[in-house]
Amino acid sequence: MSLKRLILRGIGLLLILGFLALAGGYFWAKQKYPAYAKDFYISNKWFPSEEKVLAQVEIANWANHRYAPKTRHRVLRFNQSDDWEIPAQLFQGIKEGESLILSLECWGSKYWPVYRSQPLQSIKDGAYDLKLQKLAQALAALNYPVYLRFNPQMEVPGRYYPWQEYPSIYIDAYRHVHQQIKNTAPKTKMLWGPSGYPGLEEFYPGRNYVDALSINLIGDSESILSVYPKNNPKQELYRRLHRLRFFNHPCFILSGSHNSINKMKLKELARYQQENRPIYGERLWQYPEEKQVEDSIFKLGVYDPDEKLVALEALNVEHLFTNITSLIEEKLPEQVAAVQARGHDVIVTLELHNDSNNLREEAGLEKLLAGTYDPCLAQLCSILDSFPHQVYLRFSQEMEIPIERYPWQSKDPKLYIDAYRYCMNYVDTALKDVKMVWGPAGDRGSLEWYPGDDLVDYISIAIYGLPDKNITDPTKQESFAQIYKRKSWRMRQAPKAIFITEFGVKGPEDYQKQWLLKAAETINSAPELIGINYFNMHDVPKAWGDIEPPNWSVEQATYRDFLSAIKAKY
């Protein structure tokens, strides 16, 4: 075969392989980024939005609402090229008395292969500034209200849009766009546009950067997800408005999978909000820049049922778990007496696991609210009434995780909040001084279950190194710092200090020691923390099925070294 023919065959083969690579990449992108699959490349353009404006609601008072407000909705899409002028048609056709929601989408390069990188850092770095400045000039000349909605539905996981799943970078990009627009067009209202999905608060840019907000009644980017169940329109409306209660801004309700809104349901929700002002009150909107830390003595504790660590001199608090219907059977009085004899404070986690027949209680929250467990609460208060040190009461923890390990999980947040408040009101009336602890795991969407700061003294989060139950290699565990940064960020809207009432790491003793010593560095640099409490035990075996449950236990010398490393706290 001649050299020329070999070269031609080689070129042909390369062309075929190149085509296959492009085709394969396109179908990969179509699966991973469904929104992009509508266009082979992202062009600069505008078009009327398919999302209808169904209603406008005041988050401060759901009773102040308007159905189908006179608001147009259009989409403006940018890529990173500069050779495009803002079209005049974008702003035409707005009638007197109408306003405009302009959903600005900043995508990646106009060329498909570069699309795969998310564009948020490029926005912050100024790649879109020329077009943003042209847009601001056009907005400044308008004589009707404009709400600029930047890269919406950012909190929904799955990368349906390339700007999703990056909280801190998203906030930086949003603030950059805010500056570019407001410098020239200060009357333009910046609209923060989450879908309303669990975890939206992680992406909030800050009250000084948001004039209004919007949600969707199940947006397009949620269609590919199944982690959280999709509710009927009435329930979705409640859950999404409820998730916004930390943000005092006007809210537009946009269509998605549901193209109508139930007017009677919104009126019912408005009445519920008025009847539950502690859950929706203005104190949630006026949280301080820093967490409220009142305790001067840092709490160093353990959950240590085998009593391997409780004798350590530096300890000042111990953690006990008890089921509401079996306080005596589980020997809570004797356990409290032992803690008292050691001169420690006590954390009591009150769980609603089993009924009086020791069967799993699926309706524990409902029964608590019906008064069924009042005798049990009276018994609990009797046990704790004479305790001479500080009592921290934590009610049915990790309620926000969408699983059913505990019977109070995967419930309506309203039900959980009502039950929490019932329990804490009862105990707070019966006992002289009890510190009330709200104890989410710290997972996505935790604040949906926040019961109101009038009955919360501390927020408890759980930090365990194991990110996935199927991981057997202990070195694959996350660091304390990684987990704490993620979970404490989720709590930033709630104005309460953090008490880590559960944390642990599994693995060989030397690995556990190094993990704990690194954890001490994070703890020492976290002024919002008032205490930590190690879980010195293996997890409940039945929760892990056929897999061996992780054992968080450490030796006394390891925990002593950890306590000694927390020098800045005491």
Task: Establish if 316 belongs to a structural domain.
Answer: yes
Q: Are residues 313 and 446 in the same domain?
A: yes
Three-state DSSP class for 98? coil
Can you tell me the mean pLDDT for 210-224? Answer: 93
Q: Which residues pair with 319 in a beta bridge?
A: 347
Tell me, yes or no, whether 310 and 179 share the same domain: no
Q: How confident is the model at residue 287 (pLDDT cuts 50, 70, 90)?
A: low
The reply to whether 329 and 465 lie within a common domain is yes
Q: Are residues 489 and 409 in the same domain?
A: yes
Q: Is the pLDDT of residue 37 over 60?
A: no
In a domain, 287, yes or no: no
Evaluate whether residue 105 is within a structural domain: yes
Assess whether pLDDT exceeds 80 at residue 85.
yes
Which range is least confidently modeled, 137-146, 254-263, 382-391, 517-526?
254-263
Contact 445, 401 (CB under 8 A): no
Q: Answer whether residue 454 is part of any domain.
A: yes
Is residue 430 in some structural domain? Answer: yes
Long-range Cβ pairs for the range 537-544 (8 Å, 24+): 537/303, 537/304, 537/305, 537/306, 543/405, 544/469
Residues 443-481 have pLDDT tens digits of 999 999 999 999 999 999 999 987 666 677 888 899 999
Same domain, 385 and 528: yes
- Quick check: helix, strand or coil at residue 342? coil
Beta bridge partners of residue 253, listed in sequence order: 55, 215
pLDDT at 111: 61
One domain, residues 354 and 470? yes
Residue 519 included in any domain: yes
pLDDT of residue 297: 86
* 211, 344: one domain: no
pLDDT at 543: 67
**In a shared domain, residues 542 and 450:** yes
pLDDT of 568 above 60: no
Whole-number percent of the chain with pLDDT over 90: 73
Map 482-551 to HEC letters. Answer: HHHHHHHHHCCCCCCEEEEEEEECCCCHHHHHHHHHHHHHHHHCCCCEEEEEEECCECCHHHHCCCCCCE
Give the mean pLDDT of 244-257.
95
Domain boundary (199, 221, 256) is at: 256
Chain Cα centroid distance, residue 199: 3
Which residues are CB-neighbours of 306 under 8 A, at least 6 positions away?
536, 537, 553
Which amino acid is residue 21, in one-letter code? A
Query: Are 220 and 132 members of one domain?
Result: yes
Q: Which residues contact 11 (CB under 8 A, 6 or more apart)?
A: none
Residues 41 and 114: their CA atoms lie apart, in Å, by 10
> What are the residues facing 351 on neighbouring strands?
323
Structure confidence by residue, pLDDT tens digits, 153-166 = 999 998 889 899 89
User: Could you tell me if 340 and 445 lie in one domain?
Assistant: yes
- Identify the weakest region by mean pLDDT among 29-43, 411-425, 492-506: 29-43
With respect to residue 35, please indicate whether it lies within any of the assigned structural domains: yes
> Which residue segment(s) compose the domain that 319 sits in?
299-565
Distance of CA 156 to the CA centre of its chain: 11
pLDDT of residue 114: 45
Q: Are the CB atoms for 480 and 503 separated by under 8 Å?
A: yes
Residues 358, 217 within the same domain: no
CA atoms of 143 and 17, how far apart (whole Å)? 55
Residues 315-367: tens digit of each pLDDT: 999 999 999 999 999 999 999 999 999 999 999 999 999 877 888 899 999 99
pLDDT at residue 113, rounded to an integer: 44
Crossing angle between the packed helical segments 332-341 and 374-385, to the nearest 10 degrees: 20
Close Cβ partners of 550 (under 8 Å, ≥ 6 residues apart): 464, 466, 504, 506, 538, 539, 544
Specify the higher pLDDT residue, 212 or 220. 212
502, two tokens: 């559960």
The pLDDT value given to residue 117? 60
Q: Is it the case that residue 569 has pLDDT exceeding 90?
A: no
The three state secondary structure string of 210-232 is: CCEEEEECCCHHHCCCCCCCCCC
How far apart CA 120 and CA 131 sit, in angstroms, is: 15
The answer, yes or no, to whether residue 20 has pLDDT greater than 80, is: no
Q: How many domains does the chain have?
A: 2
Provide the 8-state DSSP code for 560: H
CATH number at residue 449: 3.20.20.80
Residue pLDDT, tens place only, 401-411: 998 999 999 99
In this structure, are residues 460 and 412 in contact, taking their beta carbons and an 8 Å threshold?
Answer: no
pTM: 0.90
Judge whether residue 22 has pLDDT over 70: no
Whether 23 maps to a domain, the answer reads no
Sort residue 349 into left (φ over 0), alpha (ψ -120 to 50) or beta.
Answer: beta
Q: What is the pLDDT of residues 532-555, one digit of tens each?
A: 999 999 887 776 767 778 899 999
Measured distance CA(233)–CA(260) in Å, rounded: 8
List, as one string, the DSSP characters of 397-431. Answer: --TTSSS-SSTTSS--HHHHHHHHHHHHHHHHHHS
**Confidence category of residue 23, pLDDT binned at 50, 70, 90:** low
Q: Which of 90-104, 108-122, 234-248, 286-300 is least confident?
A: 108-122
Kind of pairing between the strands at 45-48 and 71-78? antiparallel
Asked whether residue 490 falls in the same domain as residue 357, the answer is yes
Across the range 202-211, mean pLDDT stands at 96
